[in-house]
Amino acid sequence: MSGYLTGVLVTLSFNVIAAYAVYLPMAAGQLNLGIAGFMAIGAYLGAFLTNELSWPIWAAVPVSAGLAGTVGLLIGLPVLRTHGIYLAMATFALGQVISATFLNLEVVGGAAGYPVAAYAPPAVVFAAAAGVFLFMVLLSTTRFALYLTAVKSDATVADLLGISVRGIQVAAFTLGAVVAGFGGALYGHHYSFIEAQHFNVMLSVFPVLYVLFGGTQTVLGPLVGALFFTLAPEWLRASAEWRYALFAMFIILFMAARPQGLVTTSMFRLLGRRKAQAPA
Amino acid sequence: MVSQQIVNGLMLGSIYMLVAVAFTLAIGVLNFLNFSIPGLFMLGGMAAYGGVKMGLHWSLAFAGALALAGLVSLAVERLAYRPMRGGDPEVPLVSSLGFLVLLENLMLIRFGSDQQAFPALLADTNLRVGGLVIGMAQLASLALSIALVIWLSWFLSATNTGRRVRTVAESGETAVLLGIDMSSLVPRLFIGSALLAATAGILFAVNYQQVSPFMGEGVGFKGVAAMIVGGMGSIWGAVLGGLLIGMVEVLSISLIGSNVVNITVYGLLLLILILRPQGLMGRPPSREKL
Mean pLDDT for B52-56 is 86
Residue from B73, B94, B176, B287 to probe the interface with A (highest A Cβ count within 10 Å): B94
Check whether A272 has a pLDDT greater than 60.
no
Check whether A50 has a pLDDT greater than 80.
yes
Is the separation of the CB atoms in B274 and B226 below 8 Å? no
Is the separation of the CB atoms in B180 and B164 below 8 Å? yes
User: Which amino acid is located at B87 in the chain?
Assistant: G
Check whether B259 has a pLDDT greater than 50.
yes
DSSP string for residues in A36-104: HHHHHHHHHHHHHHHHHS---HHHHHHHHHHHHHHHHHHHHHHHTTS-HHHHHHHHHHHHHHHHHHHHT
Check whether A239 has a pLDDT greater than 70.
no
Mean pLDDT for A180-194 is 91
User: How far is A60 from A66, CA to CA, in rounded Å?
Assistant: 10
**Interface A-B: count of C-beta contacts within 8 A:** 146
| Minimum mean pLDDT range among A233-242, B162-171, B177-186 | A233-242
Helix (H, G, I), strand (E, B) or coil at A183: helix
Is the separation of the CB atoms in B30 and B189 below 8 Å? yes
What is the structure's pLDDT at A240? Answer: 66
Check whether A280 has a pLDDT greater than 50.
no
Tell me which residues of chain A, numbers 23 to 52, contact chain B at a CB-CB cutoff of 8 Å: 26, 31
User: How far is B6 from A81, CA to CA, in rounded Å?
Assistant: 34
Check whether A276 has a pLDDT greater than 60.
no
**Which of A97, A241, A259 is the closest to B262 by Cβ?**
A97
What is the structure's pLDDT at A179? Answer: 95
| Residue A82: closest C-alpha in chain B | B277
| Minimum mean pLDDT range among A26-40, A157-171, B80-94 | B80-94
What is the structure's pLDDT at B285? Answer: 55
Q: Inspect the interface and report whether the beta carbons of B273 and A213 lie closer than 8 Å.
A: no
Q: Inspect the interface and report whether the beta carbons of B260 and A81 lie closer than 8 Å.
A: no
Check whether A83 has a pLDDT greater than 80.
no
User: pLDDT tens across A89-109, in order?
Assistant: 888 888 888 988 888 888 887
What is the structure's pLDDT at A174? Answer: 94
Q: Inspect the interface and report whether the beta carbons of A94 and B270 lie closer than 8 Å.
A: yes
User: pLDDT tens across A194-227, in order?
Assistant: 888 888 887 888 888 888 888 877 888 889 889 9
Residue from A33, A71, A92 to probe the interface with B (highest B Cβ count within 10 Å): A92
Would an 8 Å CB–CB cutoff place B177 in contact with chain A?
Answer: no
Q: Which chain B residues have a beta carbon less than 8 Å from that of A81?
A: 274, 277
| Long-range Cβ contacts of B52-58 (<8 Å, 24+ apart) | B52/B118, B52/B119, B58/B121
Check whether B281 has a pLDDT greater than 60.
yes
**Smallest CA–CA separation between A87 and chain B, in Å?**
8
User: How far is B210 from B268, CA to CA, in rounded Å?
Assistant: 28
| Residue A196: closest C-alpha in chain B | B259
What is the structure's pLDDT at B39? Answer: 94
What is the structure's pLDDT at A53? Answer: 87
Mean pLDDT for A130-156 is 89
Q: Inspect the interface and report whether the beta carbons of B266 and A100 lie closer than 8 Å.
A: yes
Check whether B290 has a pLDDT greater than 50.
no
**Smallest CA–CA separation between B211 and chain A, in Å?**
20
**Which of A84, A213, A257 is the closest to B94 by Cβ?**
A213
Check whether A151 has a pLDDT greater than 80.
yes
Q: Which chain A residues have a beta carbon less than 8 Å from that of B252?
A: none
If residue B135 lies in a helix (H) or strand (E), which one and from where to where? strand B132-135
Q: Inspect the interface and report whether the beta carbons of B95 and A103 lie closer than 8 Å.
A: no
Q: Inspect the interface and report whether the beta carbons of A251 and B27 lie closer than 8 Å.
A: no
Give the rounded percent of residues in chain B with a pLDDT score beyond 70: 93
Would an 8 Å CB–CB cutoff place A80 in contact with chain B?
Answer: no
Computed over every residue of chain B, the mean pLDDT equals 85
Q: Inspect the interface and report whether the beta carbons of A85 and B290 lie closer than 8 Å.
A: no
Residues β-bridged to residue A114: A194
**Which residues make Cβ contacts (< 8 Å) with residue B143, sequence separation at least 6?**
none
User: pLDDT tens across B64-115, in order?
Assistant: 999 999 999 999 888 888 877 666 666 777 788 889 889 988 998 888 878 8
